[in-house]
Amino acid sequence: MVALAAALAASPVAAQMKIEPMGPLRPDQSRFFELYKEMVETDTSLPNGSCTKAAEQVATRLKAAGFSDDQLTLFSVPEHPNDGGLVAVLPGTSKTLKPMLLLAHIDVVAAKRSDWERDPFTLIEEDGYYYARGTADDKFQAAVWSDALIRLKEAGAKPKRTIKMALTCGEETDNAFNGAEWLAKERRDLIDAAFALNEGGGGRTDGKGTLLVQTIQVGEKVYQDYKLVATNPGGHSSRPVPDNAIYDMSRALERISRHEFPVELNDTTRAFFAKAGAARPDDLGRAMVAIVKNPGDTAALAVLDTDPTFHSMLRTTCVATLIDGGHALNALPQRVEANVNCRIFPGHSRDEIRAELARVIGNDAIKITYGRDDKPVAKAPPLDPALIGPMEKLSAKYYPGVPVIPTMSTGATDAVYTGGAGIPTYGVPGLWSGPEGSGAHGLNERVEVRSVYTGRDYLFDLIKALAQ
């Protein structure tokens, strides 16, 4: 997203919507703020927070709006009582249309008060921004989904398509109890849907009051850690020998660092590079258009590879992230371990990439195993006009003149679980941030107040359009 904003910043095509100052809140916006504030100020970080508490708070609000007990499912497992979530269902009138799913995670990355300028779990408005952990990732979306169901229920709305909402925990912490994973495996019936709307899309400004772009996340790369292990009998460091586990691992990682996986494009990335490239009349823009026409264009590739995001979008990437080796200062190393984190281009299996790593290393003494092998393989959803069309049409209403571009995430979301369960999952436009991002996962996370309320209106209309 940051790279995309930079790619469009030089083009007058992108700079179409000036962001107007935020006026006083409407009554419905004030009600939303109360829900948003309660959600943000409920600590849901691991291990000290409680997603279960946050889910219960939302369930209480939904019940007050008229949802019955059988339309609300609070869930958790005994081993992780604080990592629970909520599924809510607003029944539709159609017997043929499959439901739609609104997905959001309510857990957040841990935040230390001593590191932040403000209390990370107190929602503060300052200079046109809301500051707090989770204001963007992902409690904005969780609050918008919850608020939308409340508004529809209180209005007596009768959508054709059943609307489901799943608020889950565990997205931010690998190896924790993940609610989306549990629902996909254990309660698929609860979230069964024709498609899901999720995080991952959104907008970027130029940092000077102009909205440059809105994106729709259509697919993501597959996250996979590989554990590399080199072992050796070791011995006394006063008698070194050529066969050394640290040297073996060093050579293996050096070979991985120099390896480039082949360039690949799919429907989403073709659309991304073509549309984003056309909006930038410079060498980078021309290279983006050229790579779509000819993926073997080495001159275009050399230009695109100067940008880390574009480099990653064009291929599988693998990088060393952790290393641990040796056991004493005066002994030859007996064991060295390294973690290699791969982001796999959709369409390739874990086994295929492990075999490629082994080929690149070229040393059978380096054993390669999976960090985890129980995650499903992310499936890229189609560029379905029935879904993309309404997103683009409503974007023209709320973000006039701003291009809407499909993009493939090089990161990871809970779409890996819903997509893996056969539910095409899309990261929707809406919330925007500046070129530096929102501070999600970092210090002093913030969102522009105008972005919150414009995004809320956009997403409410999108839900209604797709439910009809």
Burial 16-51 (b: 16+ CB within 10 A, else e): ebebeebeeeeeebeebbebbbbbbbbbbbbeebbb
Q: Position 341: which residue type?
A: N
Which residue ranges does the chain devote to CATH 3.30.70.360? 222-370
49 and 139 in contact (C-beta within 8 Å)?
no
Please give the average per-residue pLDDT across 346-370, as a whole number: 96
310 and 407 in contact (C-beta within 8 Å)?
no
Please give the average per-residue pLDDT across 334-360, as a whole number: 96
Burial 179-205 (b: 16+ CB within 10 A, else e): bbbbbbeeeeebbebbbbbbbbbbbbb
| CATH class held by domain 222-370 | alpha beta
Q: How far apart are CA 388 and CA 115, in angstroms?
A: 40
4-25 pLDDT per residue, tens: 554 554 444 444 789 988 899 9
Report pLDDT for 139: 98
Whether the per-residue pLDDT at 307 is higher than 60: the answer is: yes
Report pLDDT for 379: 77
354 and 326 in contact (C-beta within 8 Å)?
no
State what percent of residues in the chain have pLDDT above 70.
Answer: 97
Whether the per-residue pLDDT at 276 is higher than 50: the answer is: yes
Report pLDDT for 162: 98
**Looking at 243-252, 263-272, 372-381, which range is the least confident one?**
372-381
66-116 pLDDT per residue, tens: 999 999 999 999 999 999 999 999 999 999 999 999 999 999 999 999 999
> What six digits make up the tokens of 64?
């007050």
Report pLDDT for 4: 53
CATH 3.10.580.10 fits domain 2-220+378-467: no
Report pLDDT for 153: 98
Report pLDDT for 15: 46
pLDDT band for position 376 (50/70/90)?
Answer: confident
Whether the per-residue pLDDT at 2 is higher than 60: the answer is: no
Which residue ranges does the chain devote to CATH 3.40.630.10? 2-220+378-467
Provide the CA 227 distance to its chain's centre, in angstroms: 24
Whether the per-residue pLDDT at 47 is higher than 70: the answer is: yes
> What six digits make up the tokens of 367?
């054993």
**202-205 vs 210-220, strand pairing mode:** antiparallel
pLDDT band for position 377 (50/70/90)?
Answer: confident
* Crossing angle between the packed helical segments 449-467 and 27-41, to the nearest 10 degrees: 100
Please give the average per-residue pLDDT across 444-458, as a whole number: 97
Whether the per-residue pLDDT at 57 is higher than 90: the answer is: yes
**Looking at 179-188, 256-265, 328-337, 366-375, which range is the least confident one?**
366-375
Burial 129-165 (b: 16+ CB within 10 A, else e): bbbbbbbbbbbbbbbbbbbbbbbbbeeebebebbbbb
136 and 433 in contact (C-beta within 8 Å)?
yes
pLDDT band for position 176 (50/70/90)?
Answer: confident
Q: How far apart are CA 339 and CA 319, in angstroms?
A: 8
Q: Which of 285, 46, 84 is nearest to 187 (CA)?
A: 84
230-265 pLDDT per residue, tens: 999 999 999 999 999 999 999 999 999 999 999 999
Question: Edge to edge, what strands does the sheet with 129-131 contain?
Answer: 124-126, 129-131, 446-448
401-443 pLDDT per residue, tens: 999 999 999 988 999 999 999 999 999 999 999 988 899 999 9
Report pLDDT for 380: 84
**Looking at 6-20, 251-265, 286-300, 322-336, which range is the least confident one?**
6-20
State what percent of residues in the chain have pLDDT above 90.
Answer: 89
Question: Edge to edge, what strands does the sheet with 367-370 contain?
Answer: 317-325, 335-344, 222-231, 367-370
Q: How far apart are CA 298 and CA 296, in angstroms?
A: 6
Q: Return the higher-pLDDT residue of 168 and 374.
A: 168
Q: Average pLDDT, whole number, for the chain? A: 94
Q: How far apart are CA 170 and CA 183, in angstroms?
A: 12
